[in-house]
Amino acid sequence: MSDAFLRHIRATLDQIEASGLLKRERLIAGPQGGRIRVASDRGERTLLNLCANNYLGLANHPDVIAAAKGAMDAFGFGMASVRFICGAQTLHRELELAIAKHLSKDDAIVFAACFDANGGVFEPLMGEEDAIISDSLNHASIIDGVRLAKARRYRFANSDMNALEDCLKQAGADGARFKLIATDGVFSMDGYVAKLPEICALAERYGAMVLVDDCHATGHLGDKGRGTPALTGAGDKVDIVTGTFGKTLGGGMGGFVAAAQPIVDLLRQRARPYLFSNSLAPPVAAGALKALEIAARADDLRARLTDHTKRFRAGLEAAGLSTLPGVTPIIPVMLGEARLAQDLASALDERGVYVAGFFFPVVPKGKARIRTQMSAALTAEDVDIAVAAFRDAGKALGIL
Ligand SMILES: Cc1ncc(COP(=O)(O)O)c(C=O)c1O
C-alpha cells in the first residue's frame, strides 16, 4: 500500500478529530440493561444507561436468553448458508409468520438487519417507470436503499405535507407508473412521529403506496406494540412495514419487511441482501421470536416506559434544558455545537450517567445534541437520578 494513500486517510481522520466530530467507542463489560458495567482506565464502573434502544428492557430478559440457549441446542449455532440454499429453518419461518401476524400483514421476510431490509426492499419493487418519494430525515438505510433502485427519486422536507403533495404531483406529471412514499415511523434523531394519517390520505388521493420504517416503534409504541400505524390510527393504510429485531424486540439482530403476499414473495426472489447474505443465526432468531411474544403482551412494560418518558422529559424541562417536543421515549437534549454535546456527555459520565453526544454527520451541523432514550429497564428512582445528574452537569458547564 502506498504511503501517500495512508497519509491521505490519516489527514481525513485528523480533520474529523480537529472538528470535534470523532466518535469514540466505550466498552461495556457486561449485558445491556438499565445499568451497565463500562470498562475504563479506572477499571469497571457501573453507569445508568440512557442511550440504548432497549425500550422494553428485553435485551437481557431471562426468557429471551433461555429461548436463545434452547435454540442453540436444538438448531445449532450458525447456518453457514443463505436462506434459499440451505439456510431456512422452521425457526426462521416461525419468526416471519409471527411478525406478520403481529403487524396484521399477509407475510414477512427476515433479513440479517433492517439496514439490509431497507437496502433490499426498493430495488425489486420499484422500476425506472416508478417514483419513490422519501422524507428528508429518513434513516441512512432508506436513503441507500432508494439510491439502489432505478426509480425516479423525490425528497420532501421532514413531515412537510405541502412538500409531499408537491412531490406527488410532480411524480404524476413526470408520468410515474407506481408511486411509493417512504418514511420513518419515528425519526430517530428527533423522536418525532411521522404524520401517517395525513401521509396515507395524500397517498390515497394521488394513488401512491406507503412504506414505513418502524424500527423505533415496533414492540413499544401503539396498541400491543404494533407501532406507529397503530399509534396514529393509520392502521392498514400503511402498505409496507420494515423493522428491526435489534432494538425493542430483544435487541439481538435481524430486520424484516412485512407486506402483502406478492410483495414478500418477490422480495424472496429478488432482494439482494436476502439472496446474497447469510441466514440469521438460530439463537438470534429464537430470541427475537420470544421477545416478540413477550412484547405483544407487555402492556405493563409499555406503561412503565410511558411513565418514565413523561417523568424524565418533565424533569429536564424543569431544570431548564432545551428538549425537542414529543411523545416517544427518544428525548433529545439540544446543545448546538458538537464540542458542547461531547463535554456534557463526559460530565454526565463523571456523574454516573451513560449518554452519547450526536453531531454531524449524524445530525445537521449546529444541531448537536445528547439523544436520551428511556427504557422500562430503568426504575423511577433511576430517572430522578438521571435528571439530577443533567442539572448538576449543566450547571458545571455553564449551560444552566
Ligand atoms: C430508523 C432506522 N431504520 C433502520 C435501522 C437499521 O436497523 P438494524 O440495526 O436492524 O440494521 C435503524 C437502526 O439504527 C434505524 O434507527
Domain harbouring 214, CATH code: 3.40.640.10
324 and 308 in one domain? yes
Domain boundary among 241, 263, 296: 296
The pLDDT tens digits of the residues spanning 7-57 come to 999 999 999 988 877 888 999 999 999 999 999 888 999 999 999 999 999
Q: Answer whether 266's CB lies under 8 Å from 124's CB.
A: yes
35 and 48 in one domain? yes
- Residue in 366, 163, 44, 52 with CA at minimum distance from that of residue 181: 163
86 and 104 in one domain? yes
225 and 307 in one domain? no
Separation in Å, CA 300 to CA 101, 220, 332: 21, 11, 25
Write the DSSP string, 310-350.
HHHHHHHHHHT--B---SSSEEEEEEESHHHHHHHHHHHHH
SS (H, E, C) 340-371: HHHHHHHHHHHCCEECCEECCCCCCCCCEEEE
**Which pLDDT score is estimated for 359?**
87
322 and 223 in one domain? no
Q: What proportions of the chain, in percent to the nearest 5, are helix, strand and coil?
A: 45, 20, 35
**Which pLDDT score is estimated for 209?**
98
Does residue 18 lie in a domain region? no
Low-confidence ranges of the chain (pLDDT < 50): none
How remote is the CA of residue 242 from the centroid of ligand 1, in Å? 10
Read off the C-alpha cell for 51: 442511550
Read off the C-alpha cell for 58: 428485553
8 is catalytic: no
Domain boundary among 229, 264, 296: 296
| Phi, psi (rounded to 5 degrees) for 334 | -85, 130
How remote is the CA of residue 384 from the centroid of ligand 1, in Å? 29
Does residue 343 lie in a domain region? yes
**Which pLDDT score is estimated for 36?**
97
Nearest CA to ligand 1 atom 12: 215
Nearest CA to ligand 1 atom 8: 114
307 and 257 in one domain? no
Give dist(CA 291, CA 280) in Å, integer. Answer: 15
Question: 45 has which bridge partners?
Answer: 38
Does residue 273 lie in a domain region? yes
Give dist(CA 106, CA 218) in Å, integer. Answer: 17
Read off the C-alpha cell for 369: 445534541
33 and 106 in one domain? no
Q: Which of ligand 1's atoms lies nearest the C-alpha of 184?
A: 1
325 cis-preceded (ω within 30 degrees of 0): no
**Which pLDDT score is estimated for 24?**
85
290 and 219 in one domain? yes
Choose the residue to mutate in 137, 215, 216, 240 for probing ligand 1, maximizing ligand atoms within 8 Å of C-beta: 215
Angle ∠(321,196,177) on CA atoms, nearest 5: 135
Domain boundary among 276, 296, 316: 296
How remote is the CA of residue 1 from the centroid of ligand 1, in Å? 34
334 and 222 in one domain? no
Does residue 8 lie in a domain region? no
Rounded to the nearest 10 degrees, how much is the dihedral formed by the CA atoms of 70, 76, 80, 85? Answer: -80
Q: Provide the angle, in degrees to the nearest 10, between the axes of the packed helices 90-102 and 282-296.
A: 30
Does residue 20 lie in a domain region? no
Active-site option among 139, 195, 216, 220: 216
Does residue 180 lie in a domain region? yes
Domain harbouring 347, CATH code: 3.90.1150.10
265 and 130 in one domain? yes
237 is catalytic: no
344 and 289 in one domain? no
Nearest CA to ligand 1 atom 15: 215
Give dist(CA 244, CA 255) in Å, integer. Answer: 4
Sheet holding 131-135, edge to edge: 107-111, 255-259, 240-244, 208-213, 179-184, 131-135, 152-156
139 is catalytic: no
pTM (2 d.p.)? 0.96
Does residue 374 lie in a domain region? yes
267 and 151 in one domain? yes
Domain of residue 277: give its range. Answer: 61-296
Instruction: Give the chain's domain count.
Output: 2
**Which pLDDT score is estimated for 9?**
97
Ligand 1 interacting residues, C-beta cut-off 6 A? 113-115, 118, 139, 141, 184, 188, 213, 215-216, 244, 246, 255
Does residue 308 lie in a domain region? yes
